[in-house]
Amino acid sequence: MPPKQSVTERLTDPSKYTGSHRERFDANGKGRGLAGREDLCINDGNTSSKSRNHTIDNSVEPRPKSKPVVHKVDNYGVTAKKVTFFEYANKNHSGEMIVLTKQKYPTMKQVNDFTTSMIPTGKSKIILDKNMKQVTELDNFVAGEKYLVLTSYDKQHLVNEKIPINFKGSK
């Protein structure tokens, strides 16, 4: 009677597999990953030759014996800021909420480009916080706050009746 094999030895024994499943493991019984299921090759623009073999025999990288412990203190608690912009002179404007991510709004220029699409369109805008102070840097935005978007002309001729009701109200 042959000695008993462990479960992993039996499952990784390529002699037990038939057909294309046999290609899933190398001669030592190690899994070949995606290379055992699909024909993978390196597409570097060069033709194959005896000196250049473009096939990939194993797509599984060996696991490290011990996993390194990595602490990234600067990533803890970092969340994107959600702010709401209101159009000046549109009393019933319900606001447009945007999420200030580094991918979509990496600089203040991208935020300003977004505000130029607000009415009146095409004109550069000024962004004011609840205290009617101008916001000029991304770091000055506070998560969950409301901001008023208006032109420089409107800032000089600010009328309280033209400020949206939802901007004046509580959060």
Mean pLDDT of 30-38: 70
Question: Same domain for 86 and 41?
Answer: no
pTM for the whole thing? 0.53
> Strands 146-150 and 81-87, how do they pair?
parallel
Between the CA of residue 57 and those of 33, 53, 63, 91, what are the distances in Å? 9, 10, 17, 66
* Residue 123 included in any domain: yes
Question: Same domain for 83 and 152?
Answer: yes
What average pLDDT does the structure give for the chain?
78
Q: What is the pLDDT of residues 102-129, one digit of tens each?
A: 888 888 999 988 898 888 888 889 999 9
* Residue 95 included in any domain: yes
What pLDDT is stored for residue 40 in this prediction? 66
**Domain span holding position 41:** 1-62
pLDDT band at 49 (very low <50, low <70, confident <90, very high): confident
Mean pLDDT of 19-41: 70
Question: Same domain for 32 and 102?
Answer: no
Cis peptide before 62 (omega within 30 of 0): no
Strand order in 146-150's β-sheet? 96-100, 81-87, 146-150, 126-128
Question: Same domain for 162 and 93?
Answer: yes
* Residue 69 included in any domain: no
Question: Same domain for 86 and 163?
Answer: yes
Q: Which residues pair with 41 in a beta bridge?
A: 55
Question: Same domain for 41 and 89?
Answer: no
Task: For tokens 């550069």, name the residue.
Answer: 124
pLDDT above 90 for 35: no
Total domains, the chain? 2
Question: Same domain for 133 and 164?
Answer: yes
Question: Same domain for 53 and 89?
Answer: no
Between the CA of residue 17 and those of 6, 21, 26, what are the distances in Å? 16, 6, 12
Question: Same domain for 89 and 121?
Answer: yes
Q: What is the token pair recorded at 58?
A: 């194993």
* Residue 7 included in any domain: yes
